[in-house]
């Protein structure tokens, strides 16, 4: 199966790594990511001092941490983006094994930080959420399996990948972390769709997912409460959702002004899950639209580049990663505007969180690596080859 990526024609030998990287990488996406990170730092400056004060920490404690982890995350992104698809696949599969082990160990060694779900390993100086790191690795593994399934005399990759999906979703559901579980399930669905799933089957799977949601609603109080909160026409004024909705309304078009926002004082998750509410309140609709535009640009550019990609593995892995990234952003913002039920989902690169930043950096690095310009056997490639 090593030929799987043989379609990815080797780039010219002899060219220095960095210039070649700079020439082939999607620089627009990099700019968008950097801007997102900048916005994240700016919002962290606004949202976290009240929290730091509440926890008895120096006012810019969280900002500093965000900057440090952001630098780490960006470094990871740049390093990852230089990997070749083959290396990426190898490391991804290994990472998946490691992540799976970590997920298995969670019930034993994990902690719930008093939030009712065991999702974290506490390392003292920081906490690590293994599922964040598992996600990109999972995408790589599934892409590999799905691509392999398409080769002549290949393994039954689709079924195997489905098995892994069910395993991971199950592990996430027992934490419980239905948000991540749904994200994993959705990503697998999208990848299978792009890999050429029969349309009828996709519709069937959509129905099954709906059914699973109903079952989860009926069997888990945690889950049911969130959905009920979403379906209630009147917002309970004591919930985070209410504060978030009110903050968006307060902000209006131009915002109430830097540092004038109030929602960050009343929302415990203002710096993570509801960061967009802080943005909407202080900087107004303009800032929210800017953030949304950045996310949309990253997503659409990556998809456009993947459309040209002729290698199945690269195409699938890239699609999975980009969809995961976009859906996460959509869910986060959608919750704040009450389009979706409340679900703890961070806004990639913008929300505070070391583990999330690092994992997102790696995932974005993978996207960059997979969307690098490669000879695709087209006429234009001759030019590329000659230069």
Partner 1 sequence: MTRTPLRPLARILQSRARGENPDAIERENIRLRAEADRARAHARAEGRLLVLAVAFFLAFSVVGLRMGLEAASDPREPTMATRGGDAITANRADIVDRQGRVLATNLVTHALYAQPPQMVDPARAARELAAIFPDEDAERLEARFTREGARFVWVRRRMSPEQLQAVHDIGEPGLLFGPREMRLYPNGRMAAHVLGGASFGREDVRAAEVIGVAGVERIFDTELRDPAAGGAPLRLSLDLSIQAAVTEVLERGVAMMSARGGTAILMEARTGQIVALVSLPDFDPNDRPSPLVEGDPADSPLFNRAVQGVYELGSVFKAFPVAQALDRGILRPDSIVDTAGPLRWGRFRITDFRSRGARQSVSDIFVHSSNIGTARIAQMMGIEAQQEFLGQIGLLEASPVELTEAPQGRPLTPRNWSELSMMTISYGHGLSVSPMHLAAAYAPLVNGGTTVTPSLVQRPRVPAGEQVISAEASAAFNVMMRETVARGTATMANVAGYHVGGKTGTADKPRATGGYYEGKVIATFVGAWPMPDPEYLLVVTLDEPVETSGTEPRRTAGWTAVPVAGEIIRRTAPMLGMRPDVAGPRADAVSSMRP
Question: Binding segment for partner 1 among 29-37, 88-96, 143-151, 217-225 (CB under 8 A)?
Answer: 143-151
Gap between the Cα atoms of 308 and 301, Å rounded:
11
Q: Is residue 308 within 8 Å of residue 284, measured between CB atoms?
A: no
Question: Binding segment for partner 1 among 158-166, 210-218, 322-330, 347-355 (CB under 8 A)?
Answer: 322-330
Q: Is 125 in the site for partner 1 (CB under 8 A)?
A: no
Q: Is residue 184 within 8 Å of residue 161, measured between CB atoms?
A: no
Among 252, 259, 378, 380, binds partner 1 (CB under 8 A): 252
Among 267, 333, 364, 366, binds partner 1 (CB under 8 A): 333
Q: Which of residues 207-246 bind partner 1 (CB under 8 A)?
A: 234-237, 242, 245-246
Among 49, 130, 261, 284, binds partner 1 (CB under 8 A): 284
Among 315, 343, 372, 374, binds partner 1 (CB under 8 A): 315
Among 249, 259, 260, 383, binds partner 1 (CB under 8 A): 249
Indicate the residue among 187 and 355 with the shorter CB distance to partner 1: 187
Among 38, 116, 196, 198, binds partner 1 (CB under 8 A): 196
Beta bridge partners of 162: none
Among 330, 362, 364, 369, binds partner 1 (CB under 8 A): 330
Pairing verdict, β 127-128 and 121-122: antiparallel
Among 251, 348, 354, 365, binds partner 1 (CB under 8 A): 251
Among 26, 250, 269, 273, binds partner 1 (CB under 8 A): 250
Binding letters toward partner 1, positions 339-358, x by CB under 8 A? x-------------------
Q: Is 169 in the site for partner 1 (CB under 8 A)?
A: no
Tokens of 380: 């234009």
Gap between the Cα atoms of 115 and 231, Å rounded:
23
Indicate the residue among 73 and 255 with the shorter CB distance to partner 1: 255
Among 27, 151, 214, 378, binds partner 1 (CB under 8 A): 151
Binding letters toward partner 1, positions 38-77, x by CB under 8 A? ----------------x-----------------------
Q: Is 2 in the site for partner 1 (CB under 8 A)?
A: no
Q: Is 29 in the site for partner 1 (CB under 8 A)?
A: no
Gap between the Cα atoms of 192 and 21, Å rounded:
30
Indicate the residue among 11 and 241 with the shorter CB distance to partner 1: 241
Question: Binding segment for partner 1 among 68-76, 123-131, 162-170, 191-199 (CB under 8 A)?
Answer: 191-199
Beta bridge partners of 193: none
Among 171, 275, 312, 324, binds partner 1 (CB under 8 A): 312
Q: Is 324 in the site for partner 1 (CB under 8 A)?
A: no
**CA-closest candidate to residue 348, choices 329, 363, 320, 321:** 329
Q: Name, in order, each residue with C-beta under 8 angstroms of 274's C-beta and a sequence gap of 6 or more.
A: 240, 243, 244, 247, 263, 267, 336
**CA-closest candidate to residue 373, choices 317, 301, 305:** 305
Question: Binding segment for partner 1 among 72-80, 118-126, 303-311, 348-356 (CB under 8 A)?
Answer: 303-311
The binding site for partner 1 (CB under 8 A) comprises 7, 54, 149-154, 190, 193-196, 234-237, 242, 245-246, 248-253, 265-266, 280, 284-285, 288-289, 292, 295-296, 299-300, 303-304, 306-307, 309-310, 312, 315, 319, 323, 326, 330, 333-334, 336-339
């Amino acid at each position: 199966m090593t030929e799987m990526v043989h379609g990815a024609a080797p780039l010219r030998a002899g060219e220095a790594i960095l210039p070649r990287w700079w020439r082939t990488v999607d620089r627009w996406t990099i700019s968008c990511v950097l801007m997102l990170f900048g916005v994240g730092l700016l919002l962290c400056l606004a949202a976290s001092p009240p929290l730091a004060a509440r926890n008895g920490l120096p006012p810019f404690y969280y900002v500093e941490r965000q900057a440090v982890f952001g630098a780490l995350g960006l470094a990871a992104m740049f390093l990852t983006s230089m990997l070749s698809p083959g290396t990426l696949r190898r490391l991804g599969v290994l990472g998946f094994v490691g992540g799976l082990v970590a997920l298995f160990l969670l019930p034993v060694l994990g902690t719930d930080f008093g939030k009712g779900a065991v999702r974290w390993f506490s390392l003292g100086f920081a906490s690590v959420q293994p599922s964040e790191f598992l996600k990109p690795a999972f995408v790589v593994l599934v892409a590999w399996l799905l691509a392999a399934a398409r080769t002549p005399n290949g393994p039954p990759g689709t079924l195997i990948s489905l098995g892994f999906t069910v395993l991971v979703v199950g592990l996430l559901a027992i934490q419980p972390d239905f948000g991540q579980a749904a994200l994993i399930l959705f990503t697998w669905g999208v990848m299978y769709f792009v890999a050429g799933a029969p349309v009828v089957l996709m519709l069937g799977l959509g129905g099954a997912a709906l059914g699973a949601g109903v079952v989860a609603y009926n069997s888990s109080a945690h889950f049911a409460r969130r959905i009920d909160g979403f379906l209630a026409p009147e917002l309970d004024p004591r919930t985070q959702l209410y504060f978030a909705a009110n903050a968006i309304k307060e902000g209006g078009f131009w915002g109430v002004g830097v540092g004038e926002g109030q929602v960050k004082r009343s929302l415990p998750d203002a710096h993570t899950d509801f960061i967009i509410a802080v943005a909407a309140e202080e900087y107004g609709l303009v800032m929210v639209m800017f953030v949304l535009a950045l996310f949309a640009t990253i997503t659409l550019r990556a998809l456009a580049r993947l459309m040209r990609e002729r290698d199945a593995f690269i195409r699938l892995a890239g699609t999975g990663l980009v969809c995961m990234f976009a859906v996460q952003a959509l869910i986060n913002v959608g919750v704040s505007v009450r389009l979706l039920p409340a679900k703890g989902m961070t806004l990639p690169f913008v929300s505070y969180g070391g583990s999330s930043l690092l994992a997102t950096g790696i995932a974005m690095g993978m996207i960059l690596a997979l969307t690098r310009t490669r000879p695709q056997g087209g006429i234009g490639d001759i030019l590329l080859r000659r230069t």
